[in-house]
Amino acid sequence: MQLHFIDRKTYRTIQDIKIQQELSLPFQPAYIIPEGGSNHLAVNSCAEYTKTIPTDYDIITCACGTGGTLAGIIKGMDGKKNIIGFPVLKGGDFLYSDIQNFLSNSSTQLNFNNWTLNTDYHFGGYGRTTEQLNDFIINFYQQHNILLEPVYTGKMMFAIFDLIKKAYFKKGTKILAIHSGGIQGLEGFPKLKESLHLD
């Protein structure tokens, strides 16, 4: 594999089809993988995934980057259950329209109103963390032997536990939290990884 870097100014225009064509011209034939891997194929794959999960829960939650995974879960659940996405980017409200666009372009005729986003748990933005979040991840691993990372799953799980403390969920509510992986993200947080004593 050879990496070819572009500057930040070009990257901000990466959604422009003309820019994509110019950048990929030297590498034809080329297949453009969208940021976060989110496109109609990803949405449909995540929709298929929902067929493998149990149904005896009330709420399903998922961390959100580009929104493709959440859109697939929404589509796959076919209007059933309540679904909450936790954007990991600061100012994640834009994901409402992005997710709606994914759903509109994924061969479904349904208008889903069983989902929402909670944008309160980004911890400063994408790839950012705090001592509070790091401590939560360490304690969660010690108590449950389940690894989280501070980019995606740590933020989602922190949010769930915090909302439970705040009595946001009705007593007895069964919550299914989708752990979408991303553990390799711990490599970017060496102090946190060291504190987890993984070696």
Structural domain range at position 7: 1-32
Instruction: Give yes or no: residues 4 and 93 share one domain.
Output: no
Spatial distance between the Cα atoms of 187 and 168, rounded to a whole number of angstroms? 33
**Is there a contact between 133 and 111 (Cβ–Cβ < 8 Å)?**
no
Q: What is the number of domains present in the chain?
A: 2
Give me the residues of the chain with pLDDT under 50, please.
none
Q: How far apart are CA 132 and CA 165, in angstroms?
A: 16
Rg (CA), the chain: 18
Which tokens go with 27?
């590498």
Location of structure tokens 């999960």: 53
- 186 shares a domain with 99: yes
Question: Which residue, 119, 47, 55, 44, is CA-closest to 85?
Answer: 119
Torsion region of 175: left, alpha or beta (phi above 0 gives left; psi -120 to 50 gives alpha): beta
- In contact, 121 and 159? CB cutoff 8 Å: yes
Quick one: 2 and 81 in the same domain? Answer: no
Are both 50 and 80 inside the same structural domain? yes
Same domain membership, residue 159 and residue 101: yes
Sheet containing 82-87: give its strands across.
115-117, 82-87, 59-64, 175-177
Q: Among 34, 45, 54, which Cα is nearest to 72's?
A: 45
What is the reported pLDDT for 107? 63
Neighbours of 133 (CB within 10 A): 20
**What is the predicted pLDDT for the residue at 108?**
62
This prediction's pTM: 0.88
Q: What is the pLDDT of residue 28?
A: 87
